Homo-oligomer: A and B are copies of this chain.
């Protein structure tokens, strides 16, 4: 059974999962790096960037869970890049260099499709204008029986939660109050009714919350 999974998704105490004012220079907006500091410190993140070292505790255990068993990712166009509206050129190939960290097919949801991008290391970016259900069908086929990761951003996670297609959700509660930005929880209620929930705090200060669909 192929599952739909979300990993390492940080959210503030007041429910914001991205800051206000995202640009090429400030990809996290006014949140700066505060939502993802816990991740930057892990061995998993460092090895993604070819760097040694990093923590190997509970933050890293969760961080490393991101990859195994995943056969495709679906991401929103706002995660792929800072551009909005029609592409003015097709130079932009994502934030991740020539050999992106994904190493699987990646479906980028956009109202402005463009040709498929084959990158080094097995990552292929497909640009599709699709509903969550349609995107999931395409990603499941590409995943060849493996799981599908919903990679964000905030709007994409919220849409897939609302469509009730997520089986495993890993949130990282960062104890900061952002005040503004993109709300994860708008329009969502009683999420806990459909999931078994666990919480574990880390010495880094964050708390990992996992939502596992009941019966999975």
Q: Which residues of A contact B (CB under 8 A)?
A: 11, 13-15, 173, 175-180, 185, 188-192, 197-202, 205-207, 209
Nearest-Cβ distance from residue A60 to partner chain B, whole angstroms: 17
* Chain A contact surface mostly: loop
Other A-B pairs, 12, CB within 8 Å; known A175-B192, A176-B190: A13-B15, A13-B209, A14-B188, A15-B185, A173-B173, A175-B199, A177-B185, A177-B189, A179-B185, A179-B189, A197-B205, A199-B207
**How many angstroms from the CA of A116 to the CA of B188 in the assembled complex?**
44
Partner of A206 from B185, B191, B199 at Cβ < 8 Å:
B199
- CB-nearest residue of chain B relative to A174? B192
Chain B contacts for A179, CB-based, 8 A: 185, 188-190
Q: Are B192 and A176 in contact (CB under 8 A)?
A: yes
Nearest-Cβ distance from residue A73 to partner chain B, whole angstroms: 25
Chain B contacts for A198, CB-based, 8 A: 205
- CB-nearest residue of chain B relative to A184? B14
Q: Are B177 and A190 in contact (CB under 8 A)?
A: yes
**How many angstroms from the CA of A161 to the CA of B134 in the assembled complex?**
46
